[in-house]
């Protein structure tokens, strides 16, 4: 059986990389599984998923913390906010099909946008909480 965190990340990647509006906002297919080296900006990177056991009374369930990063050098926060807004619209309460698991819920929990030390780049971090259970 596929690990729930991998199935979740695979489904999120497929949804984001297949969205025409997000592709337009990033100027091309710029969703990456992890932070890329020397990639054109802006881009979206899926950070590692942190998983914890949250077994319920009836079924084994897992809670996942999924973080996505957006990097921009457009000279301000506007581009980062536009991209993060689209990501939240796509993922918050999304009904994603996961290999070997059922997605019980997917919620946006936190968003942070900040200027980086180089004073040219802006980074947005989005954190989502997902709950999964295995298919029986």
Name every residue whose Cβ is closer than 8 Å to that of residue 68 and which is 6 or more positions away in sequence. 12, 16, 44, 45, 46, 47, 87, 125, 126, 128
Distance (Å, rounded) from C-alpha 102 to C-alpha 39?
33
Give residue 50's Cα distance to chain centre: 12
What is the pLDDT at residue 13? 98
Mean pLDDT of 96-110: 98
CB 61 within 8 A of CB 132: yes
Q: pLDDT grade, residue 10 (50/70/90)?
A: very high
What is the pLDDT at residue 30? 98
Report residue 15 as tokens: 């949804």
Distance (Å, rounded) from C-alpha 106 to C-alpha 10?
14
Q: Return the domain boundaries, the chain.
A: 73-112
What is the pLDDT at residue 6? 97
Q: Longest C-alpha distance within the chain, in Å?
A: 51
- The tens digit of pLDDT for each residue in 17-76 reads 999 999 999 999 999 999 899 999 999 999 989 999 987 667 789 999 999 999 999 989
Measured in degrees and rounded to the nearest 5, phi and psi for residue 116 equal -90, 170
% of residues, the chain, pLDDT over 90: 90
**For the chain, where are the E strands, in sequence order?**
31-32, 43-46, 50-53, 62-72, 97-98, 101-115, 122-134
Q: pLDDT grade, residue 1 (50/70/90)?
A: low
């Amino acid at each position: 059986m596929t690990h729930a965190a991998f199935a979740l990340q695979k489904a999120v990647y497929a949804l984001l990389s297949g969205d025409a509006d997000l592709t337009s906002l990033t100027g091309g297919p710029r969703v990456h599984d992890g932070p890329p080296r020397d990639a054109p900006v802006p881009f979206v990177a899926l950070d590692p998923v942190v998983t914890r056991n949250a077994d319920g009374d009836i079924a084994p369930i897992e809670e996942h913390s999924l973080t996505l990063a957006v990097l921009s050098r457009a000279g301000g926060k506007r581009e980062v906010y536009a991209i993060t807004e689209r990501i939240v619209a796509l993922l918050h309460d999304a009904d994603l099909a996961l290999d070997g698991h059922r997605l019980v819920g997917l919620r946006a929990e936190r968003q942070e946008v900040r200027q980086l030390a180089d004073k040219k780049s802006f980074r947005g971090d989005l954190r989502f909480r997902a709950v999964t259970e295995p298919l029986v």
